[in-house]
Amino acid sequence: MNFPENLRYTKDHEWISLEGNVATIGITDFAQRELGDIVYVDINTVGKTLNAEEVFGTVEAVKTVSDLFLPIAGTIAEVNSALNDKPEAVNNDPYGEGWMVKVTVTNPADIEALMDAAAYGALVA
């Protein structure tokens, strides 16, 4: 499985990258494999300010629906609208075209509390 070194990870299987105070968030390669074929991504929290670990949406696969948890506090600034027509991008490219939201982060230093690639790899091993 692929866990890029430049990202941080959560126990709930989300990844996050941070540029300045804007974070891009999606689900990990492990998560998309566990879910199976993703058929729908439902995120209607644009403009909302949420705390870390609050639900920002759901992802629906053939066999289950799973909540999506925000890794760090912030305001949902943008949703990847391409997932409306191509939810399978989450399976095919979870760290690229399959990103889910962009968030204006409340405190960028909070990312340091999340797991690095080695720690996440150990969690899912």
Q: Across residues 1-23, what is the average pLDDT?
A: 95
Into how many domains does the chain fold? 1
Say if pTM beats, i.e. exceeds, 0.85.
yes
Confidence of residue 54 (pLDDT cuts 50, 70, 90): very high
In-domain check, residue 122? no
In-domain check, residue 112? no
What domain range includes position 41? 8-107
In-domain check, residue 116? no
At 86-107, the pLDDT tens digits run 999 999 999 999 999 999 999 9
In-domain check, residue 123? no
In-domain check, residue 118? no
Confidence of residue 44 (pLDDT cuts 50, 70, 90): very high
User: Beta strand 14-19 with 8-9: parallel, antiparallel or unpaired?
Assistant: antiparallel
Beta bridge partners of 65: 60
Please give the Cα distance from 30 to 45 (Å, whole number).
24
pLDDT at 34: 95
Q: What are phi and psi of 26, to 5 degrees?
A: -155, -170
Q: Residue 65 is part of a domain; what is its CATH number?
A: 2.40.50.100
Q: Say if CB 39 and CB 60 are below 8 A apart.
A: yes
